Structure 1
Amino acid sequence: MHWTIAAPFINQQNLVNEHWLTRNVPGDRHQFHIVPRSIPLGNWHNQKSSVTGFKSWLIYWQHGMEAMKASEGGVITLFPQLPAVIGMQQRMTGKKRVPVVAWLFNVGTCSSGIRQAIAQYTLKHIDRFVVHTRREIDIYHHWLGIPKERFEFVPFHQSEIPITHQENTTHPFIAALGSAHRDFSTFFQAVSKLNLPTVVASSERALEGLTIPPNVKTPFGIERQDCLDLAQQARINVVPLRPLPQVTAAGQITIVEAMLMGRAVIATRCHGAEDYIQHGETGLLVEPQSVDDLVQAIEMLWNDSALRNRLGQAAKRYAEEHFSCNAAGAALGRILDKVADTAGMY
């Protein structure tokens, strides 16, 4: 079956080198054509608002129309905005429905009222939603009124990350990377109590209103490679998360990257972190908003190099098996087979 792919992070500038998962789907049953976005996607960390603005929606609308126009079979979208605009376009035109697979469907927070009603209307006929935490299946099932059978859990995938740095044993430090729904308040209390050198690579918005302890450095505006370098050099990687009931998922990208790099990871047990880390085997999970729990986990890993190494190596092996592009490509192939069979298309 022929599929067009609309991914906001693929544009004319990087189209030649960005293949997404098209080369990782086994067999030759499915063919792919990537439709690039007209304007490069901005850096999420530099956005002033977490809500998609009107101009951005217009770009998504155009991108969706171009993907539909180029389709000879079905459409694969990434990010939740694209299946929404394609769903709206299909309902407005009344033409024969094109099968749509919505990969990386994470809305961040589930709004109520008019936004919920619009989401239910536009997404009603999307064939498959691919989510990256198991809890999202229940959340979106109730929020959208869509059967659970149309949701598929596939772990977030990441391509191989070159290891360019080793742990900094001369000046050891803790690293906390990322911005979305981070619990830096609890984290700062823990590292302040331990008085351990710490680097937080996040956005100014995520740290707004918080008092930064003197043992914490906060380099703003650094690039992704700089963040990866910090994660590799850190003695411990921590992903502290706030257990907000309206949040669907958070922290998976940071967790997966750290695990692929063989780093010892501590994450808060919420927002689906337990789908990625097996406590005591591939990392450590701590209870939400528990300073004592976080202090104990950090102190244990900080002082036990054998444990850090064991967890880090186990995390790397697990990530390479479950979070790789090949693993995601195999899952995508299975999902496309199901949709093609249901649609009667080959």
Structure 2
Amino acid sequence: MHWTVAAPFINRLNLTQEYWLTKYVPGDRHKFAIVPRSQPLQNWHDRKSKVTGLKDWLIYWQHGMDAVKITRGGIITVFPQLPAVLGMQRRLTRKRFPIIAWLFNVGTCSTGIRCQFAKASLDNIDSFIVHTKRERDIYHEWLGIPKERFEFVPFHEKEIPITHQENTEQPFITALGSAHRDFPSFFTAVSKLNLPTVVASGKRALEGIDIPPNVQTPFGISKAECWRLSQEARINVVPLLPNSQVTAAGQVTIVEAMQMGRAVIATRCHGAEDYIQHGETGLLVEPNSVDELTQAIEMLWNNADLRNRLGQAAQRYAKDNFSCESSGAALGKILDKVADSYNTY
């Protein structure tokens, strides 16, 4: 079957270099064409608002129209905005084509008129791919869509080059990322232990929080610089703030750290437990527990054998479960199932 891929991070400038998962789908049953976004997607950390504004929705609408115009089979989307606009466009055009919504993560489930719009636009999406198991229940209850249409596939990431070694002369802890981070608890823990710490996050995530003197907070650094921090750090920590309204958070940072063979500590919430097996590929601590977080950091800081064992196991697990190859295989099975339901080859 022929599939058109519409991903917001693929635009006219990087179209020739970006192929997403298309080259990793096994076999030759499915063919792919990528329709680019008209302009680059703004970095999440640089956005002034957490919600998608009217200007962005217009860009998504045009991107969806471009996909509908060229599709010769089905459409695969990435991120939640495109399946919403495509669902509406399919209603308006009355065209019958399958839509697969990959990386369907809405952050928080809206209420009121936004919720009604979501239900109306997403009702006929054929398959939603989510990256935490709990999201299947959350979206089923929120949208009233049958649970079997939501499939869990772990978040994937391209292989990250290992260009730096752990800094053993000036060891430090690092915490990367912004979404729903529990920096107050984390800062209390590292302040108690008085350990050198580097936090690479957005200004909005740290706004109004007292920064301890042993913590550095570089802003505006590149992805490569974040990877360097992760590789040089003795411990990677992903402290998460529990919130029943939040669907998922922290998966990108966790997957990247595990791919790079780093010892990771994460809060047991928002689906982190779908990625880290406690005591085997990392450590999980309970939400809001400064004592557990402090103890976990202190234990890993002082135990090189444990850090190395967890890091090596994490890297092996990530290679088997969070790679482009594993996600491509999962996508292929989903495409087969949807194509069979449409009786199209």
| TM bucket, shorter chain | over 0.9
Task: Say yes or no: does 1:111 pair with 2:110.
Answer: yes
CA distance in 2, matches of 1:181, 1:245: 11
Tell me the equivalent position of 1:64: 64
Tell me the equivalent position of 1:54: 54
Show the 5 A alignment for 1:229-248. Answer: 229-248=228-247
How far residue 247 of structure 1 moved from its aligned partner, in angstroms, is 0.3
Show the 5 A alignment for 1:153-168. Answer: 153-168=152-167
CA distance in 1, matches of 2:137, 2:184: 29
Give every structure 1 segment of 4 or more consecutive aligned residues whose post-TM-superposition deviation is greater than 2 Å.
none
CA distance in 1, matches of 2:82, 2:218: 33
* Consecutive unaligned residues in structure 1, runs of 5 or more: none
Tell me the equivalent position of 2:85: 85
Q: Cα deviations across residues 232-277 of structure 1 (Å, max 9, x unaligned)?
A: 0000000000011100000000000000000000000000000000
CA distance in 1, matches of 2:4, 2:66: 9
CA distance in 2, matches of 1:78, 1:339: 17
Q: Secondary structure at the match of 2:3?
A: strand
Q: Secondary structure at the match of 2:24?
A: coil
Tell me the equivalent position of 1:280: 279
Q: Cα deviations across residues 136-177 of structure 1 (Å, max 9, x unaligned)?
A: 000000000000110110000011101000000000000000
Tell me the equivalent position of 2:40: 40
CA distance in 2, matches of 1:226, 1:86: 36
Show the 5 A alignment for 1:305-344. Answer: 305-344=304-343
How far residue 326 of structure 1 moved from its aligned partner, in angstroms, is 0.3
* Consecutive unaligned residues in structure 2, runs of 5 or more: none
CA distance in 1, matches of 2:3, 2:92: 22
TM-score, length of structure 1 as denominator length = 0.99
Q: Secondary structure at the match of 1:270?
A: coil
Q: Secondary structure at the match of 1:23?
A: helix
Tell me the equivalent position of 1:193: 192
How far residue 92 of structure 1 moved from its aligned partner, in angstroms, is 2.0
TM-score, length of structure 2 as denominator length = 1.00
Q: Cα deviations across residues 157-204 of structure 1 (Å, max 9, x unaligned)?
A: 011101000000000000000000000011011001110000000000
Tell me the equivalent position of 2:141: 142
CA distance in 2, matches of 1:152, 1:169: 42
How far residue 91 of structure 1 moved from its aligned partner, in angstroms, is 1.3
Show the 5 A alignment for 1:152-231. Answer: 152-231=151-230
Total equivalences in the alignment:
345
Tell me the equivalent position of 1:13: 13
Aligned-pair Cα RMSD in Å: 0.5
User: Letter of the aligned partner of 2:83 in structure 1?
Assistant: P
How far residue 98 of structure 1 moved from its aligned partner, in angstroms, is 1.1
CA distance in 2, matches of 1:111, 1:191: 35
CA distance in 2, matches of 1:173, 1:130: 36
How far residue 96 of structure 1 moved from its aligned partner, in angstroms, is 2.6
CA distance in 2, matches of 1:345, 1:295: 56
Q: Secondary structure at the match of 1:139?
A: helix
CA distance in 2, matches of 1:197, 1:9: 35
- State percent identity of aligned pairs: 74
CA distance in 1, matches of 2:29, 2:277: 35
User: Letter of the aligned partner of 2:64 in structure 1?
Assistant: G
